[in-house]
Amino acid sequence: MRLTTRSRYGTRMVLDMAQHGKNGLVRIEDIARRQDISAKYLEKLVRQLKGTGYIKSRRGPNGGHALAKPPGEITIGEIVRVLEGTPSLVDCSGNSQNCPRLEECLTHRAWQEVTRVMYEKLDSITLEDLLESPRPCSLEKNPENP
């Protein structure tokens, strides 16, 4: 499964708000410039996240956006669910009506389990964890699997 730009850009956007919003509201235009993402696209993501209580906004010349919760209370899994609509690794994993072979499918349980484990991991990572990471843009190598 590949997460769409909604999740990837949405996560970058809320992380930017967490980083730059300590002294007040953050403007979409500033996030767009720093993250090299279209302001129009970010506005769509803001609406989705605002509607679910993760972002608060104020209009006007001194307006902008901020996180509605502390970074330690927002997980990457929550952001992905809001922006992707609870994606699954395969169509039948999330919706049994998409699979005419569900009754005899031997792999259905495996796809459900892998999706569950993926969200379990995403739910364990908060924005605060990413902000405090010593190497924010690199993956640590597993000593057992270099």
Cα–Cα distance between 7 and 13 in angstroms, integer? 10
- Contact indicator for 20, 30 with CB cutoff of 8 Å: yes
Domain ranges of the chain: 5-132
Indicate the Cα dihedral angle 54, 60, 64, 65, nearest 10°. Answer: 0
For position 139, what pLDDT does the model report?
Answer: 46
Q: What percent of the chain has pLDDT over 70?
A: 82
The pLDDT tens digits for 77-108 are: 999 999 988 667 676 655 556 677 777 788 87
Q: What percent of the chain has pLDDT over 90?
A: 57
Structure tokens at 95: 């919706």
The pLDDT tens digits for 94-145 are: 555 667 777 778 887 888 888 889 899 999 999 999 998 766 554 454 455 4
Cα–Cα distance between 85 and 93 in angstroms, integer? 13
More confident of the two residues 68 and 146: 68
Protein fold of 5-132 = Arc Repressor Mutant, subunit A (1.10.10)
